[in-house]
Structure 1
Amino acid sequence: MTILAVAGLTKRFGGHTVLAGIDLDVARGERIAVLGASGSGKSTLLRCLNFMEMPDGGTVTLDGRTVGRSERELVQVRQRVGMVFQQFNLFPHMTALGNVMEGLRTVRRVPKQEAQARAERELARVGLADKAAQYPAHLSGGQKQRVAIARALAMDPELLLFDEPTSALDPELVGEVLGVIRSLAEEGRTMLLVTHELGFAYHVATRVIFLADGTIHEQGTPDEVLKHPRRERTRAFIARHKEFSL
């Protein structure tokens, strides 16, 4: 069952076309890894899907309904589509618990006690029950990213977007974040993951998309795209990342 349908999605910044007509259907439970060189439009695609960037053309359909045309629709989309950012985007003046509670309190209007109980459950899910009272300044990068994932999960999203969630982390912290994402995949979560972790993409994704020049240059199963790419540009990209293990 298709949960998200994108048709002819375009985005320009000035005279530069970043997305040049993206067509993409996402089925419920799919895990799609989005790959591509810097500047290929990966992050812009994700930001257009939850309208942090407004597309210049095309449509985004969520559960059969075209969205993004009014402020009310944007609020609904952002409740149903969770986003985890490269740079965490935590509120520095709030504890880990406060960060996870914030959306529940301000957007969903959940009572404080109920929001706190939910936030505590989500922090426990990502292995941070003991860090609830800590402020972001006292957390490692991996812990901050896990708080950000807990914050997204607290809103019960139908679709999770991960924008290079490990690229700002020291190498020794990458595994703890990927471990949480893997556990979400095992739950059957629907997700789009922009990543350079090709080994992780191979083992966790159900489909891999390779972007180039603002278009989907190649897509298929992880085996098709990462082991047996058909297009020369995809092959060159994979060859530059030969360190990934299958």
Structure 2
Amino acid sequence: MARTPNYFKGKTIAITGAASGLGRAAAVIFAREGARVVCGDIDDAGGAETVRAVEAEGSEAIFVKTDVTRRTDVRNFVQAGVERFGRIHFLFNSAGSALKRCGFLEIDDELFDLSFDLNVKGTFYGMQEVLPHMLENGGGTIVNVASMAHKRGGPGTSVHYASAKGAVVTMTMGVAREFADRGIRCLSISPAAVNTGFQAASGTSKEMAERLMNDIPMKRNAEADEIGELVLFLCSDACQFMTADTVYVSGGGGFR
């Protein structure tokens, strides 16, 4: 089935981690298709910039300061979107981070807990807060960000992060199957390296970044826009039979 023209026009997507990277790229791409955007992030300045980028595409957006590790923040984020636009049709749980690189024996309780709070609980809160609204309004589509790291386990550098992203994949599958007959589709995407500020933020050295890129058969990282276009496709009416699946975006098998 081909994607229906103007399918996204007048619909609303809520995006966590919208101030930069994958979240901002998706916000602009959806806006280009006529969707309105609810932008959630802890970064006020970045969130405001994303709103301006959406408006430059001729669409509407609001920014809601959101720490996804706090349920009350996520609840306010969803409620603000519903109050402004009336309905949320799509949720893109983009917020997440590896936080820092270290060996398994160097992972302390604080790092482990924060990794799961940010990557797993943040996704959990997003889905749990938006699902009642979607169910009351005939359904919706959720796309969660996992990582190719969960396939390899993150040995020596990011077991905490890979484990958290593995949990995201499992949770996505469970939610998708529980609500599949009620108009809900839930998918996850597992990118390899993407050209955003993610690697620098997690303390990835230049040498490690080059090694990770060279592990990708295409010998390059993905661009944020390429991931955003995938999210658009997964939310479209061309993908109505896809749910519970994880889409690997690896350039031919990076990180495997």
TM-score (norm 2): 0.33
Structure with bigger strand share is 1
Determine which structure has more spread, i.e. the larger CA radius of gyration. 1
Structure with bigger helix share is 2
TM-score (norm 1): 0.34
